[in-house]
């Protein structure tokens, strides 16, 4: 016996959902240790989000870390989602500025601040 399930797409139903990638807030979970950064991204709506990747770029003066999440759907839960990582840099952080994070707790999804000041504050 076979049971068929049909999904009908019409003017009132949508069969494709828009997916958008965005940077989300992250913060240090402990003080930087040589080349290692322990970090955690924070974003909302586990029912309509998917963590995609960590991106790291290094220069002599700065280290920039970005957490990218994909957002989709329109009936999202309001829970807070965490994605933890241990990032190993090519060189120790030292005196370089750490950019791309938000040094205070943020429970909202969305893009990081573009001005990216030196955010080395450690999460409590």
Geometric angle at alpha carbon 45, from 44 and 47, rounded to 5°: 155
Whole-model pTM above 0.85?
A: no
93-111 confidence digits (pLDDT tens): 998 888 887 654 333 334 3
Is the pLDDT at 3 greater than 90? The verdict is no
Please report the pLDDT score of residue 103 as a whole number: 52
pLDDT tens digit sequence for 9-61: 334 444 457 888 888 888 889 888 999 999 999 887 778 888 999 999 999 99
Q: What is the pLDDT of residue 75?
A: 76
Give 100: exposed, middle or buried? Use CB within 10 Å, 0-12, 13-18, 19+: buried
């Amino acid at each position: 016996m076979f049971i068929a399930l049909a999904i009908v797409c019409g003017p009132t139903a949508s069969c494709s959902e828009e997916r958008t990638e965005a940077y989300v807030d992250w913060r240090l979970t402990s003080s930087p240790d040589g080349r290692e950064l322990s970090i955690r991204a924070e974003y909302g709506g586990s029912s309509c989000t998917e963590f995609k990747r960590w991106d790291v770029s290094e220069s002599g003066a700065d280290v920039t870390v970005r957490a990218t999440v994909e957002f989709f759907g329109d009936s999202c839960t309001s829970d807070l989602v965490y994605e933890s990582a241990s990032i190993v840099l090519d060189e120790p952080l030292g005196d370089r500025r750490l950019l791309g994070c938000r040094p205070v707790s943020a429970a909202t999804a969305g893009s990081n601040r573009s001005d990216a000041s030196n955010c080395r504050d450690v999460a409590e």
